[in-house]
A and B are shown apart, each in its own frame.
Chain A
């Protein structure tokens, strides 16, 4: 066993994010191992997206530390963190609306692939997200679900070590959701993933370990069955007060 095996892929310690008087993330400690697939759930305003934003440099945490393979990343800029190997699909689709689907994917592929490998890599991603037939359409003209796909495709194309997916199945049909779950399981063969979702059926399809956020704190962290059976988690989702 080498030292590298002992260092978790991602480790956040005592992470706090305040917006004026609002504490969006309150003393969160979170660890993710290599190749792990983790689901983050919790009601609206629980601090899930804020947590993702601090992980990707879109927000600088008020206090606390984040380490990616032992390297501190809190306070680094988004593009620096992206280059270290963290990719994110944001909650509101962040795509290049005025460009074609192909070009969107190509912009993600370009940073890693050699010019010759770029074409095939783009085609492979297009096939995976099933937009090959729409490759030359302008992204702004696609449906919400398809734009979600474009963004997922961009994240995959950049081949990050850690993939963050913020509500990947939102706005998708049941069939599309199934396909998303299949893709997530497939990429989890080689990469670690954190998924934020509200759709419990979707969570059941993919989840192994689940972390529940509530009011900016980690409420529970356990296997999917135990978490879904947990009375506190049910209460949180029904809006009852919970003594965490």
Chain B
């Protein structure tokens, strides 16, 4: 496979994705499309962890912290401004700032990876408890009543930028959410093929060597953390737009765990895998939710165990390996700007082996 062929194949894939996103409202029912909108919002969240965990080598349990902050930032400013244009921006900026401050202390304080997991997890719990205890009229920001455990209902959904009275229809909302998912995917793909992205991967591969070559791993990891927080925040806005509601369960631990399961199932170290894993798992959970025989958490746990034991690399890398074996590949002539990233040494990474 030459580089040109691969680029052409990728361009075709992108065009197909665009057409699919455009046509979905006219081929499937409204209910299914709404469900896809939710899955696409969640898939953006999955991408945020896929990026920082799969490429930055940082297992952040706190993606829901940024997701929730983004959701609340969007809801509060949308209620106040009655316009989604600045609210979406705030849903990106506020989680980024929060990630910058938190990340500064984590990375510049040289806190080890294990504690990073603990800290991000704890921050999520703290945010959950803080937001959870904001019932009462005194907890309001401008016109927005925080509502504590009950959350904030009737959040204005997306409107045409700068035209607050032109609220998007469910179809348009799907296009925006699906388009954002595709845009985020392409943005991360591009970033990871640029020098900056290669340095992020290099720091994941060997922090000591990166710093001995003159790269500052603290700075690289902080920027990765901030970008991932920004993407999670954007996902939060998309999520609130879908349901016109935000509540403290957006910070919940089960969601944090679910993102990790999406990525494990779909494939760590890829961008496509987490999207596939997210949609698949969310579909299964939604399906199980519609009947009584099985508990969805039980099934999720079983799925995770099965994947870790039988398909540790996840769906997408396994499928890719199979495809490589079926198609007798001509002598690979990978280039520097090659977008197909090598599979990360995730297993050795997690065991701290070097």
Residues of A within 8 A of B (CB): 56-58, 77-79, 82-83, 87-88, 90, 92, 94-100, 102-103, 106-108, 110-111, 119, 122, 136, 138, 140, 151, 154, 158
- 12 of the cross-chain contacts (CB-CB < 8 Å) are A77-B211, A77-B216, A79-B213, A82-B213, A82-B214, A83-B214, A87-B212, A88-B212, A97-B348, A106-B198, A107-B210, A151-B209
Q: Which residue of A lies closest to B208 (CB)?
A: A94
Cβ-based interface call for B195 (8 A): yes
B335 to chain A, nearest CB (A): 8
In contact, A100 and B334 (Cβ under 8 angstroms):
yes
User: Is B202 positioned at the interface, with any CB of A under 8 Å from its CB?
Assistant: yes
Cβ–Cβ contact B336 & A102, under 8 A = yes
Q: Are B202 and A99 in contact (CB under 8 A)?
A: yes
Q: Given A88-B212, A90-B212, A98-B342, A110 and B217 touching (CB < 8 A)?
A: no
Complexed CA–CA distance, A31 and B127 (Å): 55
Q: Which chain A positions have C-beta within 8 A of B209?
A: 94-96, 151, 154
Contacts of A103 in B (CB 8 A): 198, 336
Inter-chain pairs besides A78-B212, A94-B208, A154-B209, 20 sampled, C-beta below 8 Å: A56-B212, A77-B211, A79-B212, A82-B211, A82-B212, A95-B209, A96-B205, A96-B210, A98-B204, A98-B345, A99-B201, A100-B342, A107-B198, A107-B202, A111-B213, A111-B214, A111-B215, A138-B342, A140-B345, A154-B213
Q: Which of B181-215 contact A (CB under 8 A)?
A: 195, 198-199, 201-202, 204-206, 208-215
A98, B205: Cβ atoms closer than 8 Å: yes
Given contacts A94-B206, A96-B205, A78 and B211 within 8 Å (CB-CB): yes
Instruction: Find residues 301-346 in chain B having any chain A CB closer than 8 Å to their own CB.
Output: 332-334, 336, 342-345
Q: How far is the CA of A83 from the CA of B214 in the complex (A)?
A: 5
* Residues in chain B near residue A107, CB distance under 8 A: 198-199, 202, 210, 213, 215
CA distance A111 to B214 in the complex (A): 8
**A136 to B329, alpha carbons, bound, how many Å?**
15
Cα–Cα distance between A146 and B190 once the two chains are bound (Å): 31
> Are the C-beta atoms of A99 and B336 separated by less than 8 Å?
no
| Contacts A79-B217, A136-B333; A58 near B198 (Cβ below 8 A) | no
Contact (Cβ within 8 A) B212 A136: no
The answer to whether A108 and B201 have CB atoms under 8 Å apart is no
**Which A residues lie within 8 Å of B215 (CB)?**
79, 107, 111
Q: Are A136 and B334 in contact (CB under 8 A)?
A: yes
Q: How far is the CA of A107 from the CA of B217 in the complex (A)?
A: 14
In the complex the two chains form, is B205's CB within 8 Å of A99's CB?
A: yes
CB closest residue in chain B, given A96: B205
Bound CA span A110–B215, Å: 11
* CB closest residue in chain B, given A138: B342
The 4 A-B residue pairs with the shortest CB-CB distance, nearest first, are: A82-B214, A96-B205, A78-B211, A94-B209
Once the chains bind, are B344 and A98 in contact (CB under 8 Å)? yes
Residue of A nearest to B216 (CB): A79
Complexed CA–CA distance, A140 and B334 (Å): 16
Contact A99 B342 (CB under 8 A): yes
Inter-chain contacts of A138 with B (CB < 8 A): 342
CA distance A219 to B138 in the complex (A): 75
A239 to chain B, nearest CB (A): 30
- Min CB distance B219 to A, Å, is 9
B201 neighbours in A (Cβ, 8 Å):
96, 98-99
**Inter-chain contacts of A78 with B (CB < 8 A):** 208, 211-212
Shortest Cβ gap from A148 to chain B (Å)? 13
- Complex Cα distance, B206 from A102, in Å, reads 16
Contacts of B334 in A (CB 8 A): 100, 136
Nearest Cβ on chain B to A133's Cβ, whole angstroms: 12
**Closest chain A CB from B217 CB (angstroms):** 7
With both chains docked as a complex, state the minimum distance between the C-beta of A218 and any C-beta of chain B, in angstroms: 25
Given the complex of chains A and B, what is the CA–CA distance between A28 and B306 in angstroms? 57
By a CB distance below 8 angstroms, the chain A residues around B217 are 79
Most chain B beta-carbon neighbours within 10 Å: one of A82, A95, A107, A140: A107
